Amino acid sequence: MALFPFVITKLPRTALSQKYRTHEKIHFRQQLELLLIGFYLIYILEFLMRYLTLKDWDAAYQNMSFEREAFANETNLKYLKNRKCYAQWRYAGRD
The answer to whether residue 36 is domain-embedded is yes
Quote the pTM value: 0.90
55-84 pLDDT per residue, tens? 999 999 999 999 999 999 999 999 999 999
Is 29 within 8 Å of 80 (Cβ atoms)? yes
Which of 35-69 are b and which e, b meaning 16 or more Cβ less than 10 Å from the residue's Cβ? eeeebeebbeebbeebbeeeeeeeebeebbbbbbb
Q: What is the pLDDT of residue 75?
A: 97
The answer to whether residue 14 is domain-embedded is no
Higher-pLDDT residue of 56, 1: 56
Is 51 within 8 Å of 57 (Cβ atoms)? yes
4-45 pLDDT per residue, tens? 888 888 888 788 899 999 999 999 999 999 999 999 999 999
Number of folded domains that form the chain: 1
Phi, psi for residue 3 in degrees, rounded to 5:
-125, 95
Q: What is the pLDDT of residue 95?
A: 56
The answer to whether residue 77 is domain-embedded is yes
Domain limits for position 65: 2-6+19-91
Closest of 11, 22, 15 to residue 78, by C-alpha: 22
Half-sphere exposure of 77 (CA within 13 A, CB side): 2
